[in-house]
Copies of this chain bind each other. A is one copy, B any other.
Amino acid sequence: MTTIRSEARLQESLADVTRLLDKHRLLESLTHRQEGPRKDLLESLQHRQNLAELQRRLRTMHPADLAYVLEALPLDDRRTVWEQLDADLAGKVFVEISGPVRASLVETVSEEHLVAVLMRLDPEDLSYVSDSLPSEIAERVSRALEAAGRPVIEEPQYDEDCVGHYMTREWIAVPETYTMQDALAELRARGELPPQTDRIFVVDARHILRGGVPLHTLLLAAPDTPVSATVSEDTISFSPHQDATDAAKAFERYDLVSAPVVDERGKLVGRLTVDTVMDLLRNESSLRALQHAGLSRDEDLFAAPLDSARNRWPWLAINLVTAFIASRVIGQFEGAIRELAALAALMPIVASIGGNTGNQTMALVIRALAVDRLQLVGGARRLVNKELAVSLLNGSVWGLIVGTAAFVLYGSVALGAVMSGAVVLNLVVAGIAGVAIPLSLHATGRDPAQGASVLLTFITDAMGFFLFLGLATLFLL
């Protein structure tokens, strides 16, 4: 065995593949340019040798690594690599790659090849990728599968946020009447275990789950022990309709590797595994980061500019509306600004510091909601009180600093005092909004992370302008 340093291996693979692709592009451009028949022959020989080397290199790679390489490559190189993969390997890679890149492949590769690849997938993988497929391709594959006597693509039965969507139908279950020896004999007869099997399941005659027996119990227990005697008491099971994120949290909390999924009668219908849960958590956290920045979905880095631009429009539209409303708040004070132009220069500071503290508070509340720390009655009240205290404290400290700076810049004590007052008040607004917005979104069943930031910034901007310009009108003019 050679131990493998995974990141180094990956970088090496990527470097090899890009080198061969560079050569491929060079040879291709030469072939197109030159016309002489002899040169042509020589170059096309080189060309084929190069492609064969690329094929050999790709065949040695893990499907997950190939997926990684495909994600890193621009569109034309992606197609070249994809065309060198045999259908089996291409199928595995197709399942591993991310949604947007899968969509880019569907658009660029030939339909025949794609159908041939899809035919190799098992029904579960096929149903998993079927969302990314245009309906005509899905139909072609269905028809071809039917002709070959295999089950057609199943419609996904469960919503994307349910446990059922993520569970596998591969598991090992033995009757509760078995002994350890019987169970071992059954395992040996199968020859191989499904991936991520850390326990087998025990079911009764009606296929109702009795519990799980960890593999190490199978290894260590006496052969004539009945499996029912070793079934672990507190096997955690999930319902296929349960929220997948809740199940993922349970995996984290109880350090699970696999867990049974049972229907409402307790019948075993699936198995959830830790690798799926990790993918789910990763996707959720990255989607949240993207949504936080106002993107509707993940984007292929090398997508067409128009597609990319469209992905960003809904957010920009909302933001423009709020920015215009905040602008109208300023518009009401144009007289004051004409008299004292310093107000125009200072007002973004009041808005900005409010937005910042509000977003800090909100990040903490969203985090607390995500790990269910705010379930208690009275917890929210306590939190508001604490955040108000923090706002007043921060307001006094930073209000004084900001006010002093304004006084130094413009030499007016009154302007400094108005600035200080506006900062204190806007920080209180920010503190309240920072707690109230995510809690209200959560209470109405929405994701508190989505849209919360734009709403908060709107409130702290508009109120910041209003408080500062309003106080200035009252006390300075």
Chain A residues close to B by CB (< 8 Å): 1, 3-7, 10-11, 14, 18, 62, 64-65, 68, 71-74, 184, 187-188, 191-193, 195-198, 209-211, 215-216, 218-220, 231-239, 242-243, 246-247, 249-255, 257, 260, 262, 266, 274-275, 277-279, 281-282, 285-286, 288-290, 292-295, 298-299, 301-303, 305-306, 308-309, 312-313, 315-316, 319-320, 323-324, 326-328, 330-331, 334-335, 337-338, 341-349, 351-353, 356-357, 359-360, 362-364, 366-368, 370-377, 379, 382-383, 386, 389-390, 393-394, 397-398, 401-402, 405, 409, 461
Contacts and interface: CB of A to CB of B under 8 A. Distances in A.
B3 A187 contact: no
A324 B353 CA distance: 11
Nearest to A423: B320
Contacts of A382: 74, 302
B216 A357 contact: no
Nearest to A388: B305
A197 B253 CA distance: 18
Given A4-B234, A72-B372, 11 more contacts: A7-B246, A14-B376, A192-B216, A198-B257, A285-B285, A289-B363, A301-B368, A302-B386, A309-B390, A313-B394, A337-B338
B306 A187 contact: no
Most buried by B among A11, A288, A356: A356
13 contacts: A1-B209, A1-B233, A1-B235, A3-B262, A4-B235, A62-B254, A72-B374, A73-B376, A74-B382, A193-B220, A257-B274, A302-B386, A337-B337
B237 A3 contact: yes
Contact of A293 (B335, B362, B377): B362
A289 B18 CA distance: 34
A348 B282 CA distance: 36
Contact of A305 (B238, B286, B389): B389
Residue of A327, A346, A357 with highest tally of chain B CB at under 10 A: A327
Given A68-B372, A236-B6, A382-B302, A219 B187 contact: yes
B301 A383 contact: yes
A316 B353 contact: yes
A313 B6 CA distance: 40
Contact of A299 (B327, B348, B364, B376): B364
Nearest to A295: B360
Contact of A14 (B64, B72, B312, B375): B375
Contacts of A10: 372
B72 A376 contact: yes
B335 A341 contact: yes
A286 B367 contact: yes
Contact of A252 (B239, B278, B343): B278
A257 B214 CA distance: 14
A152 to B, nearest CB: 28
Contact of A320 (B184, B274, B290, B398): B398
A65 B383 contact: no
A468 to B, nearest CB: 12
B302 A219 contact: no
Contacts of A198: 198, 215, 257
A301 B364 contact: yes
Nearest to A62: B254
A389 B288 CA distance: 26
Nearest to A255: B275
A337 B386 CA distance: 41
Contacts of A379: 72, 74, 301
A360 B293 contact: yes
A255 B196 contact: yes
Contacts of A347: 344
B353 A319 contact: yes
Nearest to A64: B253
A374 B301 contact: yes
Contacts of A371: 71, 286
Contacts of A334: 341-342, 344-345
